Structure 1
Amino acid sequence: MGRYVLRRLLQLIPVFVGTTFLIYVLVWAVPGDPFAGMCGERRCEPGFIQMMTEKYNMDENIVVQYFLYLGNLLQGDFGTTFSGLSVGELIELRYPVSVQLALVAVGIEAVIGLAAGILTGLYGRGFLDNLVLVATLFLISIPVFVTGFVLQILMGFELEWFPPVVGTDPSFYDLLLPGFVLGSLSMAYVSRLTRTSIAENTRADYMRTALAKGQPKRRIVGVHLLRNSAIPVLTFLGTDLGSLMGGAIVTEGIFGIPGVGGLVYEAILQKEGVTVTGVVVLLVIVFLLMNLIIDLLYAVLDPRIRYD
């Protein structure tokens, strides 16, 4: 196991360098003047443009720029914005809220999605199965911003079950409604994926062997069927965590959550490439670590998988 973990960590290095280089090039190679608008309605002085260009190494080749940025990044420096603010401090202020929101969303989609998928997968066709299929199709077909506005008005303003706007220091209860909105689409996919996986594994050879041996149905379902069916669902949930943190711009905007999504949106409007690059690089790190954790959990769920 230790040798496998070390090998996987070494494999993450070229993946990290390749993805971050691609992100850096896509952000900084965009045509246009990144300093346009910094001086208000009038044009910036040539001396100011020259100073900013040298400060952010934009007079160098894009490859040189990237490796200079990577060297600072390895020291924990995510750079500074054009207005002189530390990107690391901005992320430190916004990131915890986005992590909490993403964890709540993943928890909701895991609990509700798995429960619906297991019930429909075990008991086959019927009223419950049709209800879940229609409900998940309904969630998939409706945009997230529509779901967010409807639930905010209905459960926030009309029924007053949840706070319609989340503050800077939200509690778990405050994040339940935006967490449901953020995870609603993935919840539908988790339900359908679980249902399909269970239905497929029910007809597997090891299930027939367990039945032939006379094992109790509870053990067959709990030990054999559910553990093997959970592998594709676990993969989806693990990778979805990073997607939710980076894709929560709409949800955070609707509920007034000061998270990373809003930070990226503001940076795009202000053409702050340093902030966009810093946040996306952090999300890449989250994706890589989550993939490593998922790979290690495979051996826990499926005894046939061994890392020797």
Structure 2
Amino acid sequence: MGRYTLRRLLQLVPVFLGTTLIIYYLVWGLSDDPFAGKCGQRECPASYVATMTERLNLDDPVLLQWLKYLGGLLTGDFGRTFSGNEVSELIANAAPISFRLALVAVVIEIVIGITAGLVSGLRGRGYVDSLILVSTLFLISLPVFVTGLVVKQVFGVELGWIRTSVPPDPTILDLFVPGLVLGSLSMAFVARLTRTSLMENARADFVRTAVAKGLSRRRVVLAHMLRTSLIPVVTFIGTDLGALMGGAVVTEGVFNIRGLGGLVFTGIQRQEQTQVVGVVALLVIIYLVVNLIVDLLYAVLDPRIRYD
């Protein structure tokens, strides 16, 4: 396990370098004039252009710019926006909110999604199974922004059961409804993945062996079938965590949440390239770390998998 972990950590290095280079080039290398539209209808003053060009190393080739940016990134310096704000401070304020929101969404995915998939997979084709399949299909068919707007309008505006806007420093309870909306689509996928995987493993040899040994149905399901069936589910949830943190632009907008999704959106809207690159680089790191954890969890869930 130790050698495998070290090898996977070393593999993350070229992936991180390659992805950040691509992101940096797409944001900075494809733009002929990074100052276009920065000063409204008029051209930016020459002094402003000269100052920003020196600060952002825009006179250097893109590869050298990236190397200098990477050097600062490794020391925790995400650069500064055109308006002079430290990107690291913006991320430090937004990341905890997005992390709590993503955590709420993932917990909802795990609890409701796996439970629904477990019930559906064990009961087979019946009323409950059909109800779960129809419900999950309904959630998959609805875009997240539609779900968010409907929940906000019905339960917030008309019934007054929830807040229509999340406070600036929200608690886990404040983020429950936005997290439910954000995780609704993934929750449906988790339920279907769990159901399909359980029904496939129900006919596996190791399950028949466990039943032949006289183990109780509860032990067969929880200790044998469910653990192995969770491998594709864990893979999906692991990749989904990074997507939930960075892809919650619509949900954060609907409920007025000041997270990373909103930071990316405002960065694109205001042409703050340094802000966009910094947030996306952080999301790349999160993706890589989560994928490493998922790989290590495989051996815990399935005893047949060994990293020797």
TM-score range, shorter chain: over 0.9
Question: What is the correspondence of 1:175-214 to structure 2 with a 5 Å cutoff?
Answer: 175-214=175-214
Aligned equivalent of 2:267 = 267
Aligned equivalent of 2:85 = 85
Read off the aligned partner of 1:187 and give its amino acid letter: M
Question: What is the correspondence of 1:20-99 to structure 2 with a 5 Å cutoff?
Answer: 20-99=20-99
Count of aligned pairs: 308
1:37 CA displacement:
3.1
Gaps of at least 5 residues in structure 1 are none
1:41 CA displacement:
2.9
Question: What is the correspondence of 1:224-303 to structure 2 with a 5 Å cutoff?
Answer: 224-303=224-303
Aligned equivalent of 2:113 = 113
SS, match of residue 192 in structure 1: helix
Aligned equivalent of 2:161 = 161
SS, match of residue 42 in structure 2: coil
Read off the aligned partner of 1:265 and give its amino acid letter: F
Which string of whole-angstrom CA distances, capped at 9 and with x for unpartnered residues, describes residues 40-78 of structure 1? 332113343233222211111111111111011111100
Cα distance in 1, alignment partners of residues 132 and 28 from structure 2: 45
Cα distance in 1, alignment partners of residues 244 and 33 from structure 2: 31
TM norm structure 2: 0.97
CA RMSD in angstroms comes to: 1.2
- Kept in 2, the 8 Å contact 1:34–1:272? The answer is no
Which string of whole-angstrom CA distances, capped at 9 and with x for unpartnered residues, describes residues 136-189 of structure 1? 111111111110010011111222222111011112221111001101110111
1:32 CA displacement:
4.5
- Kept in 2, the 8 Å contact 1:116–1:132? The answer is yes
- Kept in 1, the 8 Å contact 2:156–2:162? The answer is yes
Judge which range, 47-56 or 81-90, deviates more. 47-56
Read off the aligned partner of 2:257 and give its amino acid letter: I
SS, match of residue 292 in structure 1: helix
- Kept in 2, the 8 Å contact 1:24–1:66? The answer is yes
Identity of aligned residues (%): 61
- Kept in 2, the 8 Å contact 1:181–1:251? The answer is yes
Judge which range, 265-274 or 159-168, deviates more. 159-168
Cα distance in 1, alignment partners of residues 207 and 61 from structure 2: 59
- Kept in 2, the 8 Å contact 1:117–1:192? The answer is yes
1:222 paired with 2:222, answer yes
Aligned equivalent of 1:144 = 144
- Kept in 2, the 8 Å contact 1:137–1:188? The answer is yes
